[in-house]
Amino acid sequence: MAMPKTPIEAGVDTAKDELVIQSAPDTKPLAIPNTSKSIKAWLKTLPAGSALAIEATSTYHIEMAEQAHAAGFAVYVVDGFRLSKYRESIAVRAKTDAQDAALLARYLRNERSSLKVWTPPPAGHRQIQVLLRRRAKLVEVRGMLRESFKGDKMFAAELKKIERTLKRTELAIAKALREEVKDAGLNDQLRRVQQLPGIGFLTAVGLVMSFMRGEFANSDAFVAYLGMDVTVVQSGKWSGRGRLSKRGDSEVRRLLYNASMSGSRTATWKAFHAYHLGRGKKTTQAFVILARRLARLAFGLMRHQQDWKPEIYTGGAKLTS
């Protein structure tokens, strides 16, 4: 394979077994196995100064991202939601691995100045994220099984056996999460976040994991990292309904939303939730507002390493997010 003489901006579509790479607009896409050895060999063909836009797919992109970063290349990890919106914006209808690789390369060429270079997460982050996602998949599968076998008495006994196995696996994951948090020295941060009414162990783990990923200038930046910020839709005098950006980890967002549902029933947040419903907010919108409130408070507790003091942070009258 001939080595290019000038730096390139490549797009990398990721899957469990294969990586599809678009190195330049006038070249054919290249497919390589998603293995450490194959990635290392391909990276050796790149000239210094090259950059890669890698699609974030489960954890399948991690090996390429980490190796490319270690080799001195600029790495930009692009989540699927952002890529799908970019595809819509330029009216690309086709969706294949090769098309996605080309789309990533195009996105990098056109938007690189506004993107943030990816850096490896701190120790423990990757494993915590993997465990949270595996638990989420387990819960999804359990829900699908329950729905599929609903009212079916013929296989009720077998289903109970599967349920018990899944429950044991879920408990094992929770135990592994506690060990990872402890090994990463994050027990104090976890304890602080869990003091917030409505936030349980899993949501606290997700928020602590997100906080440890990088430095945030303020709570707005943290909320944006979680994908809980609202995008502005405006043209002239017309303003459309804002939508969540949905950047970041979807599982942490799901956990935080569930925490807001639980929190809305507590004495601490009941009036806050009712206030926003009274202002005409829909149920989902009110939950999202409370979720942002919880995220901001969690950020403050972790940043300043302080314990939760409801008389300071709620104050009865502070009902806006």
**CATH number, position 55:** 3.30.420.40
Residue 68 domain flag = yes
Q: What average pLDDT does this structure show over 241-251?
A: 80
Residue 3 domain flag = no
Asked if residue 174 and residue 68 are part of one domain, the reply reads: no
Residue 155 domain flag = yes
What confidence tens digit (pLDDT) does each residue in 224-241 have?
999 998 875 544 444 445
Asked if residue 199 and residue 148 are part of one domain, the reply reads: no
What confidence tens digit (pLDDT) does each residue in 165-211 have?
999 999 999 999 999 999 999 999 999 999 999 999 999 999 999 99
* Boundary-marking domain end, from 85, 114, 143: 114
Asked if residue 204 and residue 98 are part of one domain, the reply reads: no
Residue 2 domain flag = no
Structural domain containing residue 40:
9-114
Question: Which pLDDT band holds residue 312 (cuts at 50, 70, 90)?
Answer: low
Q: What average pLDDT does this structure show over 288-313?
A: 91
3-state secondary structure the chain: CCCCCCCCEEEEEECCCEEEEECCCCCCCEEEECCHHHHHHHHCCCCCCCEEEEEECCCCCHHHHHHHHHCCCEEEEEEHHHHHHHHHHCCCCCCCHHHHHHHHHHHHHHHHHHCCCCCCCCCCHHHHHHHHHHHHHHHHHHHHHHHHCCCCCCCHHHHHHHHHHHHHHHHHHHHHHHHHHHHCCCHHHHHHHHCCCCCCHHHHHHHHHHHHCCCCCCHHHHHHHHCCCEECCEECCEECCCEECCCCCHHHHHHHHHHHHHHCCCCCCHHHHHHHHHCCCCHHHHHHHHHHHHHHHHHHHHHHCCCCCHHHHCCCCCCCC
Residue 1 domain flag = no
Q: What average pLDDT does this structure show over 259-280?
A: 95
Question: Which pLDDT band holds residue 5 (cuts at 50, 70, 90)?
Answer: confident
Asked if residue 312 and residue 195 are part of one domain, the reply reads: yes
| Residue 222 reports pLDDT greater than 60 | yes
Q: Which pLDDT belongs to residue 2?
A: 53
What confidence tens digit (pLDDT) does each residue in 111-146 have?
999 998 999 988 888 899 999 999 999 999 999 998
Residue 4 domain flag = no
* Boundary-marking domain end, from 132, 157, 185: 185
